[in-house]
Structure 1
Amino acid sequence: MLKGWLRKFDEAIEAPDGTQLNTLREAVAYLAETVPKSERDMPAVTTAAEILTYAAERGIAWMFLARMAVLKALHRHEVLQFNPDAKEHHWGKRKLKRDQ
């Protein structure tokens, strides 16, 4: 098992430009190269750097959080849209046998 910055993600992260990030070292180097200096203080970027460091120094338990933080930092400008036409959920609409 690899340790430190050579530790691999369970599943490679695909960056918006198509680059595959397999290890912690690749992820932190990619963020350092691609994030403009004016955006390095953004919470998503600083959190990703901090959690990548934790994953390298502390242990394998941090790898999942590191992957999520890198994805959040890579997609920091994307806004999630609410879709009002989405399918209705069935929650709370159970049918009992007596009501049929």
Structure 2
Amino acid sequence: MTDRGWGRSFEDPIDVDGRKLVTLRDAGKYIAALPKKEHDRPEWRAAMEALLLVVERGGPTMLARIGVMRALNRGRSLPDAEPRRKKAKAYRVVR
């Protein structure tokens, strides 16, 4: 396996629409095939920048995977996104 190039594979394939993105090339083709309106969204632009950085500079493939996963999951909130807070105790001032 080379340390650069489109043929590098992700540690964990990405499942999208019933198919798997196994290599950086698969992810690049998926992003390129998106409709223009979707393709131009900031999330996908960031994912493509991360993908190109990994391909051209030989960075970790996890960086590209994170970019693609963030773009795929945009708008979804995490189940524990809001911190849990305890109810404030009610105190009474006694004079």
Normalised by the size of structure 2, how large is the TM-score?
Answer: 0.74
Q: Structure 1 residues 22, 81: closer, same or farther in 2, change over 3 A?
A: closer
Distance 1:66 1:81 in 2: 21
Normalised by the size of structure 1, how large is the TM-score?
Answer: 0.70
The runs of 4+ residues in structure 1 deviating greater than 2 Å are none
Q: Structure 1 residues 36, 54: closer, same or farther in 2, change over 3 A?
A: same
Q: 5 Å matches for 1:1-100? A: 1-2=1-2, 3-15=4-16, 17-33=17-33, 35-61=34-60, 63-76=61-74, 78-80=75-77
Query: Based on CA coordinates, which of the two structures has the bigger radius of gyration?
Result: 2
Superposition deviation, residue 40 in structure 1: 2.0
Distance 2:59 2:79 in 1: 35
Secondary structure of 1:6's counterpart equals coil
Aligned CA RMSD, in angstroms, stands at 2.0
Q: May I ask how many residue pairs the two structures share in their alignment?
A: 81
Secondary structure of 1:14's counterpart equals strand
Question: Percent identity at matched positions?
Answer: 41
Structure 1, unmatched stretches of 5+, are 90-100
Which has a greater percent of helix?
1
